[in-house]
Amino acid sequence: MNTIIKTSDLAGRVGLSAIFLIAGLGKIGQYAGTQGYMESVGVPGGVLPAVIALEVLGGLAILLGAYTRIAALLLAGFSVASAVLFHADVQDPTQQVMFLKNIAIAGGFLLLAGHGAGVWSLDAWLRSRSLGKLAQA
């Protein structure tokens, strides 16, 4: 497989995962403020632990290329939901950019869900080990 494809698969995963890892970990440090912001737009603050878990664990899964298709689908849905819940005022130019950013991220995750993590991933490593065991049987 072409080195450019392998490298771009990995770099794409790093880029997509970074925003979620940083945001999820940041929410831990700013828990009360994040919870208040969520509640101010009508989202129950009690879902914040699930949001943090999805961002951090999903971000790690994408970064490592583990359970990539499932994590990508979950994070795509989360990105669209975040766009609709927090950035729906598209008359405000800043909110419009944030809305479109979230939709673009969701698009990247949908491509990742469709194509997989690539060769440099835990998914590929686990698949190669499974195929090796099948060949030995």
Element housing 53 (H / E) = helix 48-64
As a whole number, mean pLDDT of residues 34-47 equals: 96
CA angle 91, 97, 98 (to 5 degrees): 105
Q: What is the pTM of this model?
A: 0.91
Closest among 37, 49, 50 to 85, alpha carbons compared: 37
Which pLDDT value is given to residue 129?
Answer: 83
CA angle 82, 84, 88 (to 5 degrees): 120
As a whole number, mean pLDDT of residues 105-127 equals: 96
Which pLDDT value is given to residue 55?
Answer: 98
Which pLDDT value is given to residue 130?
Answer: 80
pLDDT in tens, 17-27: 999 999 999 99
As a whole number, mean pLDDT of residues 109-124 equals: 96
Which pLDDT value is given to residue 132?
Answer: 62
Amino acid type, 10: L
Name the band, by pLDDT with cuts 50, 70 and 90, for residue 121.
Answer: very high
Q: At what angle do helices 31-40 and 48-64 cross, to 10 degrees?
A: 110
